[in-house]
Structure 1
Amino acid sequence: MPIAEYDDILDIVHELLPPDSKLLDNFYQSRKLLEGLGMPYVKIDVCYNNCMLFYKDNENKEKCDFCKANRYEDGGKKIPRKVLRYLPIKDRLQRKFLPVDHEFRQQANAFRKNTRVSEEPPSILTGDEMQRHLDRFVGDSDTYGKLHNWTHALCFRQLPYFQKLLLPHNIDVMHNEKNMAEAIWNTCFDIGDKTKDNVKARLDLAQICNRPSLHLVQRNNGKWDRPRGPFCIGKDDKPTILKWIQDLKFPDAYAANIRFLPDNVWRSLAEVSYFYRQLCAKELSKDVVRSLEQNVAVLLCKLEKIFPPGFFNVMQHLIIHLPYEARLGGPVLARWSYPYERCIQKLKKKIRNKARVEAAMVEAFLVEEYQKLASIHNVLCQMSYGFRTQVTSYGCYDINGYRFRSEKYEKGRPELTTINTGVCVTSYDESDNALEYYGVIEDIIKIKWEGSIKLELVLFYCRWFDPTPNGLRRTEDLGLVEIKHAARLKSFDPFVMASQVTQVYYLSYPCKKKELLPWWVVYQVAPHGCVPRNTDNTESMSSEETIHEVYQEEGLDGTFVIDLGDALDTIISSGFDEITDPKDLETIEKAAVQDEGYDEEDIEEEYESTEEEEEPMDEEAEETYDPNDF
C-alpha cells in the first residue's frame, strides 16, 4: 500500500472518531510507534563488489580496501551504493565405510572385477588436517588428478574459527534426494537421454565389472542388442503402470508404489526410500542415526550390484556422508534448502519498491512480526455462552496446509481428478504407546459460537479402518504401512477435530496378485506451504491460506537395518533391446576400434568362466583397492 493511501485511510478513520482520539495521524508516526516495540534492524554499508563491510573499525572508510570501489554514489549526498540490512538475533530469540570384517570386502567380482578391499576406510579429517592438505596441494598442477583433485580453497577458510568447526560443510539433502530419485526413476523406466544405463555405461561396465550377462551383444546380421537390466521395467509392464497411475487419484497438488521389478531389486529401492524418510524426520534419536551410519555403506553397495557404474556420480556417493552430518548437525530441517527457498519466494512477493528491494523485504517482514504480537483475543468468555444448535455441512475444508474433502462431496463430482478423503489420527494409551487410526471422511461439519468474535469448530465425521493386526500390517524395515480396506472399526467415535488429523491417501497395488488385492498402501501427505484457493465457494471453506512450517515426518519408530541382498549376486538380464540410435552405434564403433587388440576368444572364455563355480584367485592376480589413494 502506498504511504499516501495509508494516510488517506487514517484521515477517514479520524473523521469517525472523537476529537481526543489517540489514533496516530500518518504513516511516519505509525512507523515510529512500531520501532518502539524493540525489534529494529541495522543498516550496514557494503562494498559494491561484496568485498567487505563498512562496519566497526571500517565504519568511516569511503573506499573498499580490496577493489578500491567507492562506498557512495557519485554526487554531493552520501548515498551508499549497497546496503546490508541485519536483523539482530538477540532481540528476537532472548530464542563414511564398511567395517573392516564385512563380507562385501572379500567379494572379488561383485563390484569391480578381480578386486578385494583390504584397507581401512579413510578417516574423517580434522579442520587442521584439512588445512595442511590444502596448503600442500592447492595450486600444485603436477600432482593434480594423481594425488588430489583440489583446484582452490574456499574463501571461508580465511575465517579464524573455520578450522575448529566440526561440520564445516553441509550437503543439501533436498537436492541430494531429488537427484537420487530422478536417477532411479529415469533408469528404471529407461527414459531416453536421461537414463544412466546407456550404451556408454554398458561399455564401461564391460571394462570395470564382471557382469557378462549385461554386455552388449552383436548379432550375426551385424546389429547390436543391449540386454535389458533387471532394474528396468519391461515394455509390457510400462503401459500397465502408466494406466494405473492415470487412474489413481492423489490429494490436491500431489502426484507412487511400483512392484513390477524383481523382489530383490524392489526391496533395495524401497530401502533407499526408507533411508531418506528416516534421515529427514523431524526427530532423530541417537540409535536411528547410529543405524543409518552403520548401514548406509551396505545400501550403496547393494545399489552398485544392481546398477551399472555409470549410474554413480558424485551426488550418489555423497549419501555416505549424510548420517554423519545428521549426527553433528541434527535434523535436516534447519540445514536443507526448503525453508530458505520458500522464504525468499515469500519475501519476493512483498517487494513494492523495486529500487530498494532489500529494504522493502525487511520492512514487510517487520510488519508481520508486529501483527503477530498484536493479535490477542479473549475467546473463553464467548465460549461460555455455548454454540448454536444448528450446524453447517461442507464438502471441502482447508487447514494446516491440507485440503480435505468429504466422500459424499467427491462421489457427487465424478469429474474430480484428485482425492482428499483420507485421514489419520494418533492416540496414546496409558503407557504412552502410539496407536494410529486410518479412515475416510464421510462428512465435514462446522459448529459456531454466538458472539462478536468469529469462533467456530470444524469436525470430521469419519469411517475408520480396523487398526488391529487383522486390518493393519507394517513392514518396519521399509517403513511400509498397509490397511485392509474391507475391515472396519465399528465401536469408535466417528467424530474428530479437523485440527487433530493429518492427511493420507491409499494406493492399491498395480499387480493383480490375490494376496495383495485386499490391501492398500498408506502414504502420508506432506502439507503445502500454500493450499490452492477453492473455486467452489458455496461448499468449501478455508481456515488458513499459508503455512510457514516446512513439513517433515515425525520421528519414525525402529532403526534402519537392511539385509545383505544375497539374491543380488544372481540377477540376470530379462531380455534384449535393439540399439538403433546412430550416436550409440557410433560410440560402439569407436570403442571397437580402441579395443581391436582384444581377441574374441578372450571374450568367449570370459563368458564361459561365469557359468562355472568361482574358484579362489591368486592374490597376485587380484587388485587391491586402497580408498585412501583417492
Structure 2
Amino acid sequence: MGHRRFLDRDHRYRHNKRNFYRKLELREASKQLSGNEVLAQVSKINIIFGKKSDTKVGKKRNRDENKEKGKASCWKKRSIFFDLPYWAGNMLRHSLDVMHIEKNVCDNVLRTLLNIDGKTKDNVKSRLDLQEMKIRRTLHPKQRPSGKIYLLPACFTMANKEKDDFCRVIKNMKVPDGYASKISRCTNLKMKKILGLKSHDTHILMQQILPIAVRRTLPPNVSSIPIEFSGFFRDLCSKVGRMQDFKFLESQIALTLCHLERIFPPSFFDIMVHLPIYLASDAMLARPVQYRWMYPIESERKKVIKKEMPRRAPRLLECIHNEKFPDWLGKYVDHVGNDQVLKEVRSLARGPNTVARRFKGYIINGFRFRTKDRERDLKTQNNGVVVTTKTSSFASTSDRNPVIGDVDYYGVLTDIIESDYCGSKKVVLFKCDWVDVRTQGRGIKKDEFGLTLVNFKQLWHTGWNLYNEPYVLATQVQQAFYVPDPIDRDWHVVIRSKPRDLFEMGINDSLVDNDIYL
C-alpha cells in the first residue's frame, strides 16, 4: 500500500485520512536510482562467491563489516552484471515482464471477487489487519456467541446470483480461432470458480472480458475500479504508443492503485499489484510492450451528377450516384479507349461473370472468418465482422450539409462470394446481417463504462432493393466477437480482436514524430 506518494503534491487523496489508514501522505515518490548510483552503494560490499562457510560467526562478521563500510540496508550483494562496462550506464537494467505481472494481478482480482476458498485476499487475517490498522470498522471480524468468527460482506463481495452471472459471461463466451484458448473450460458454474487459466487467457480476460463481467454484478462505484485497472493494461499493451500516452498512463496508474486501496484489503497489495506503477515508465524507455513480453514472440462521378442536378438534395444525389455508377464507368472506359485504361479497370467496367464461387470460410487481413451457419455447432466464434469507413451522415432528407466521418458498422457474416472479372481479377464479398447503427439506443448503444453494445434484433440493409447493401469487400473487414450481456438478453458487448501475428506500423507522417514508438 502507500501509492498516494506517487500522486501529484496537491492531490486531495494525500490529505484524505478517512479512506487511507488514518494518515496523511506527505512523502515524495521513491526515486529511481541510476546504475552509477547503485554501483556506488554496492561497490564496498564484500561477498565471497562459492562454497559458504559452515560457521555462523563468519557470516555475522561479514555482515558487520559490510555495515561498517556503508552498505545500504536494501542491498545484499553486488550484481555480477556490473562487471560489464556498459551496465552502470544502462537506463533500464531490468525489464519487468508484463505478462507475468498481468497474470498475477488478474488472478488476485478474480479470486478475491469470487471469494475462492484458500485463494481470496479477503479472509480472516485480512480483516484482522483492518482491525489493527483501525480502518473500515464495519468490516472488522465479529464473534458470534457460538465462538465462530463472522465476516461482514465488503462492497466487492458478490452474492451467489451475482457470481453465477459473472461466471456465465465467461462460460458462454465464444472467441475467434487463435484469439484465446477455450476459457469456458476453466469456468465451473456449479462451484462458481475460474481456475487453471493460462497466461494468455488471463491477458484476454483482464483486458477484454473482466469489464463486461463486473459491470452488471458489482455496484457502479465499485465495478468502475477493476474496469479502470483493465483499461490501463489494455492501453499499455497497445501496438502503437506515443510518449504522451505513456506519460498519461504513468500518472493514471497511481490513481487507479489508490482507488483499489480504498476498497480492497491490505493483503491484496502484494508485490505484483505494486509493480504496475513502473510499467509505463519502462515503456517510455524500452518501447511498447509487444517487443518485450514473453508471448511467442470513389469523386469524379459525383461532380458530374451534381452539375446535372444542382437542386437535388445531397442524400438523393448519393443514391443516384450509387445506382448509375456501374453504367457510367462502362461507358467511360469504352469512350476513353483501352490504351489509356489499366487492365484491372477494364475488367471491372465490363462487370463480373454470371457464375461465382461460394465459401463457408475465408482467411484475410490476418483473421479467420466463418459463416454463421458453419459455426452453429462450434465452440468458437469467427463470424463477427466490423467495418470502419468514412460515411456521409445526413440529419434529414433535406439536409444539404452532410457530415463525413468514420462510422463503425457491426454485423454477422452469413455468406462469402467470390466474383470473377474476365478471369483477370477476383473480388471477394462478405454478405452480413448488419446492426442498425443509425440511432443510438436502437441497435447500438454505449453504457456508462464506455463499452459498445449491439442488438441483433434491430437490423438494416436486409432487403434486396438497390438501397440495401448487405455486401462489403472482404479487404475492408476486421474481426470482432460478441459477448452476451447477462442482464439485457438481446444485447451483446462488442470486443474488437486483433491478429496476434500482425503489427500496426503506423502512417508515414508519424515517422516525423520522434516520440512515436512502433
- Deviations for 1:400-451, whole angstroms, at most 9, x for unmatched residues? 45332212334xx4x3333322111222469995332211112112345787
Give the structure 2 partner of residue 439 of structure 1. 411
Measure the CA separation in 1 of the matches of 2:281 and 2:229. Answer: 17
Task: State the structure with more CA Rg.
Answer: 1
Amino acid at match of 1:308: P
Residue type matched to 2:10 in 1? D
**Cα shift at 1:383:** 10
C-alpha deviations, 1:183-208, integer Å up to 9, x for none? 11111111222222233333333223
Matched, 1:335 2:244: no
CA contact (8 A) 2:239 2:503 kept: no
CA deviation string 1:293-331 (max 9, x = no partner): 222111001111111111111111110011111222222
| Distance (whole Å) between structure 2 residues aligned to residue 336 and residue 472 of structure 1 | 35
Deviations 1:45-88 (A, max 9, x none): xxxxxxxxxxxxxxxxxxxxxxxxxxxxxxxxxxxxxxxxxxxx
User: Kindly tell me: are residues 198 and 550 of structure 1, through their superposed partners in 2, closer, same or farther at Cα, counting changes over 3 Å?
Assistant: farther
Distance in 1 (CA, whole Å) between partners of 2:34 and 2:269 is: 27
| 2:43 aligned counterpart, secondary structure | helix
- After TM superposition, give the deviation of residue 503 of structure 1 in Å: 1.4
1:322-358: CA deviation from partner (whole Å, max 9, x where unpaired) = 1111222222121211243xxxxxxxxxxxxxxxxxx
Q: In the alignment, what sits opposite 2:27? A: 119
Are 2:479 and 1:503 aligned?
A: yes
Aligned to 2:237: 280
- What CA distance in whole angstroms lies between the structure 1 residues aligned with 2:454 and 2:46? 57
Secondary structure of the residue aligned to 2:76 is coil
Preserved CA contact (<8 Å) 1:425 1:502: yes
Equivalent residues of 1:271, 1:299 under 8 A apart: yes
- Name the CA distance, whole Å, in 1 between partners of 2:438 and 2:280: 34
Change (3 A) 1:180 1:137: farther
Residue 181 (1) aligns with residue 106 (2): yes
The one-letter code of the counterpart of 1:392 is R
What's the secondary structure of 2:41's corresponding residue?
A: helix
Tell me the residue number matched to 2:43.
135
**Map of 2:265 onto structure 1:** 308
Q: How does 1:545-584 map to 2 (within 5 A)?
A: 548-549=501-502
Report the equivalent of 1:293: 250
**Residues 1:103 and 1:170: Cα distance change in structure 2 (over 3 Å):** same
Report the Cα distance in structure 2 between the residues aligned to 1:225 and 1:304, rounded to whole angstroms. 23
Pairs within 5 Å for 1:11-410: 97-111=6-20, 113-135=21-43, 141=63, 148-208=73-133, 210-252=135-177, 253=181, 255=183, 256=209, 257-258=212-213, 259-340=216-297, 389-410=354-375
Structure 2 residues without counterparts, runs of 5 or longer = 48-61, 184-208, 298-341, 393-402, 462-466, 508-518
Identical-pair percentage = 35
On the 8 A contact 1:333/1:550 being kept in 2, the answer is no
- Distance in 1 between residues matched to 2:36 and 2:148, nearest whole Å: 57
Counterpart of 2:292, as a letter, is: R
Distance (Å, rounded) in 2 between the aligned partners of 1:334 and 1:299: 25
Task: Compare relative contact order (CA 8 Å, sep 6+) and give the higher one, 1 or 2.
Answer: 1
Q: 1:155 to 1:466 in 2, by over 3 A?
A: farther
* Matches of 1:241 and 1:160, distance apart in 2: 53
Matched to 1:524, the amino acid is: R
Change (3 A) 1:290 1:189: same
CA gap of 1:425–1:217, structure 2 versus 1, over 3 A, is: same
Q: 1 CA distance for matches of 2:422 and 2:42?
A: 71
Q: Secondary structure at the match of 2:415?
A: strand
Contact 1:109 1:209 in 2 (8 A): no
Listed one character per residue, the Cα deviations across residues 228-255 of structure 1 (whole Å, up to 9, x for unaligned) are: 3222321232234434544444434454
Report the secondary structure of 2:151's partner residue: strand
Query: Is the Cα contact below 8 Å between 2:41 and 2:72 reproduced in 1?
Result: no
Q: Specify the alignment match of 2:453 in structure 1.
A: 482
Distance of 1:202 and 1:153 partners within structure 2: 40
Which sits farther off after the overlay, 199-208 or 174-183? 199-208
Structure 2 SS opposite 1:110: coil
Structure 1: gaps of 5 or more residues:
1-95, 341-379, 529-547, 555-630
Q: CA RMSD in A?
A: 3.4
1:422 correspondence with 2:384: yes
Aligned to 1:523: 495
- Distance in 2 of aligned mates of 1:480 and 1:137: 54
Query: TM-score of the superposition, structure 2-length normalised?
Result: 0.66
Q: State the one-letter code of the partner of 1:103.
A: R
Distance 2:151 2:416 in 1: 55
State how far apart, in whole Å, the 2-side matches of 1:288 and 1:171 are.
19
In 2, distance between residues paired with 1:407 and 1:244?
A: 21
How far the C-alpha of 1:136 sits from its partner, in A, is 5.7
Question: Do the aligned residues in 1 keep the contact of 2:122 with 2:265 (CA within 8 Å)?
Answer: yes
Separation of aligned partners in 2, 1:319 and 1:492: 49
- Quick one: distance in 1 between partners of 2:46 and 2:129? 31
Deviations 1:544-601 (A, max 9, x none): xxxx4479999xxxxxxxxxxxxxxxxxxxxxxxxxxxxxxxxxxxxxxxxxxxxxxx
Which residue in 2 is equivalent to 1:494?
Answer: 470
Aligned to 2:201: none
- What secondary structure, in the 3-state scheme, does the structure 2 residue paired with 1:115 have? coil
